[in-house]
């Protein structure tokens, strides 16, 4: 019989114990449905108070595509932190590649963005993921991405 995973979801406090990102670049509010070494769902409540909306665009605020991909990557980093038991350790996370990235829908203030992240390859320093971002079940973006995870001191 397998032991249950210690964390099936991560609130903001736990997220900050796993990844180093902080305001204004912490782009996830919660991670749910965590299955170690398999995937999870990140949640981002998009508000008009976010700094990128001042310039993207003042009269029509749209969440930049790169921040959607970054939110997927932060969700993936939480999965890695829980999978490798690196909570409260300095886990450096570095993008190595972004492939097959497509944007299908604008993400705007008031949306709840859900990032469905699946581990394609992991277990060592280099992990590969598939990400799908949705708003109300409607596809907003997809990407495959690789990252190197490195413990610092």
Q: Is 21 a catalytic residue?
A: no
Q: Which CATH superfamily is domain 12-152 in?
A: Hotdog Thioesterase (3.10.129.10)
For the chain, the domains span: 12-152
pLDDT score recorded for residue 1:
43
Q: What is the pTM of this model?
A: 0.95
Which residues of the chain register pLDDT less than 50? 1-2, 4
Which tokens hold the place of 17? 């114990």
- The H-or-E segment that residue 31 falls in is strand 30-35
Edge-first strand order for the sheet with 39-45 is: 30-35, 39-45, 112-121, 126-135, 138-152, 90-103
The answer, yes or no, to whether the previous bond of 24 is cis (omega within 30 of 0) is yes
pLDDT score recorded for residue 5:
54
Please identify which of the residues 21, 52, 56, 116 carries the catalytic annotation.
56
pLDDT score recorded for residue 2:
45
pLDDT in tens, 114-131: 999 999 999 889 999 999
């Amino acid at each position: 019989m397998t032991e249950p995973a210690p964390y099936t979801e991560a609130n903001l406090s736990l997220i900050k114990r796993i990844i180093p990102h902080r305001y204004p670049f912490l782009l996830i509010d919660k991670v749910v449905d965590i299955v170690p070494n398999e995937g999870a769902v990140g949640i981002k409540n998009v508000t008009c108070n976010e700094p990128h909306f001042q310039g993207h665009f003042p009269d029509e605020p749209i969440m930049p595509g790169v921040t959607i991909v970054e939110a997927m990557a932060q969700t993936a980093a939480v999965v890695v932190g829980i999978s490798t038991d690196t909570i409260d350790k300095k886990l450096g996370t570095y993008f190595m590649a972004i492939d097959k990235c497509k944007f299908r829908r604008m993400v705007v203030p008031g949306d709840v963005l859900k990032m469905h992240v699946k581990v394609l390859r992991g277990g060592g320093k280099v992990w590969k993921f598939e990400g799908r971002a949705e708003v109300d079940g409607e596809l907003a973006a997809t990407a495959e991405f690789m990252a190197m995870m490195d413990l610092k001191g």
